[in-house]
Amino acid sequence: MSNFNACHFETSAVRGASGGDEKTGAISFPIYQAATFKHNGLHESTGYDYSRLQNPTREELEKTIALLECGKESLGFSTGVAAITACINLLESGDHVILSEDLYGGTFRLFNDIYRIYHIEATFVDTSKEDEIIKAIKNNTKVIFVETPSNPLMRITDINMIVDICKKYNFISIVDNTFLTPYYQKPLNLGIDLVVHSGTKYLGGHNDVLAGFIVANNEELISKLRIIQKSTGATLSPFDSWLVLRGLKTLHIRMDRCQENAIKIANWLKENKNIDKVFYVGLKEHKGYDVNQLQSRGFGAMISFRVKDKNIIPKILSGVRVISFAESLGGVETLVTYPYTQTHAEIPLEIKEKLGVDEYLLRLSIGIEKIDDLIKDLENVLEE
């Protein structure tokens, strides 16, 4: 098979790392639904022994994700949270991590509830502000973990600033790139050590698979993460690997259509009398707009907005017909989520109040539907 590494992103996404199955010529890479693989003799492995260690379908996906993120290697996990957990397992008891304070509630729960008992310390700060990061540094700090854009308020962190701090203090830098995907943002190219994804979202793209990924260029980190992956066992199944491979083929088309719709909806929401504030990276007045322009080539399709009267929230959530009231994001369908009781339910009330993740906030994951239908659906619940 030809090497497609020199191709543009769109071509690499469609063709995958290998351009199809070398052995059979199958255009759609096969699902190797096997748990174990036979050996021809002593010390004669085919390269595959047991699917927890590696499976041909997962290997093809991992190589494709690495190619798209401009990384040396990628590791596929059963969920995004499993990928983040593997990153945490790089730490030792007594280590300290600095994280974005505005981030997915499941990440907060991992650090605050699960790993705290193992004496891994976490400090949550506004990582868009360098002085807050510097103030949070301790003698035992080992990692800075950021979401950019953040969830759900779409804060933008300067990735170059994070890289500079981590190099100065010899920290590991981690960026959750779920919202923008490698199509719009490539943190590894800016010097970040590890990129994580919830592959459940845009990479899969159809709300039918759970997956997570870590991508890296540092061979020492890759080696450690491989040991963690095979030892803890939360690896991605062959079928789910195939679903993500299929989803990646249309990633660029979906992202562009979702973003096109998102820009129109964000501007429409801005003018609605019932909306107090719109959080979308693609609005020029967004606080992080200029930084995002420097480090990415797109805005994504995630929007949060605050209503003026919280009493209309139930009407919105029960009244939408084209848009679905559901958790998650990144699929072809437009979803509306209520972070206060859903994605960020685990975050303590005082932190939610500080961030503005309150009873007035809604989050939209914009899909690929006809824009007229989406806006009409919002009109029906916001303007009656």
Put simply, whether the predicted model's pTM sits higher than 0.85 gets the answer yes
Residue 2 has a pLDDT of: 43
Residue 121 has a pLDDT of: 97
Q: Which of 52, 72, 264, 277 is catalytic?
A: 52
Residue 259 has a pLDDT of: 98
Under 8 Å between Cβ of 206 and 245: no
Residue whose pair of structure tokens reads 């919105």 in the numeric block = 316
Q: How far apart are the first and last CA of the chain?
A: 59
Calculate helix-pair angle for 238-248, 56-69, nearest 10 degrees.
30
Q: Which residues does the chain have with pLDDT short of 50?
A: 1-4
Residue 343 has a pLDDT of: 81
Pick among 3.90.650.10, 3.40.640.10, 3.90.1150.10, 3.50.50.60: CATH of 252-382:
3.90.1150.10
Dist. CA 17–CA 6, nearest whole Å: 11
Q: Which contacts qualify for 68-71: CB closer than 8 Å, 24 or more apart?
A: 68/9, 68/12, 68/13, 68/182, 68/183, 68/248, 69/177, 69/182, 69/186, 69/188, 69/195, 69/215, 70/182, 70/186, 70/188, 70/189, 71/188, 71/195, 71/215, 71/216, 71/217
Under 8 Å between Cβ of 203 and 182: no
Residue 351 has a pLDDT of: 84
Kindly report, residue by residue over 277-300, the tens digit of the pLDDT.
999 999 999 999 999 999 999 999
Under 8 Å between Cβ of 120 and 145: no
Is 9-248 CATH 3.40.640.10?
Answer: yes
Residue 4 has a pLDDT of: 47
Cα angle 210, 18, 201; round to 5: 20
52 in active site: yes
SS3 287: coil
Cα angle 354, 359, 361; round to 5: 80
SS3 371: helix
Domain boundaries, the chain: 9-248, 252-382
104 in active site: yes
Q: Which of 21, 102, 104, 115 is catalytic?
A: 104
Structure tokens belonging to residue 292: 């995002």
Beta-carbon contacts of residue 198 (< 8 Å; ≥ 6 apart): 79, 80, 81, 83, 176, 178, 211, 212, 330
Distance of CA 375 to the CA centre of its chain: 26
Kindly report, residue by residue over 62-119, the tens digit of the pLDDT.
999 999 999 999 999 999 999 999 999 999 999 999 999 999 989 999 999 999 999 9
Q: Which of 176, 193, 240, 377 is catalytic?
A: 176
Residue 350 has a pLDDT of: 85
63 in active site: no
SS3 251: helix
Q: Which of 142, 201, 254, 363 is catalytic?
A: 201
Under 8 Å between Cβ of 108 and 97: no
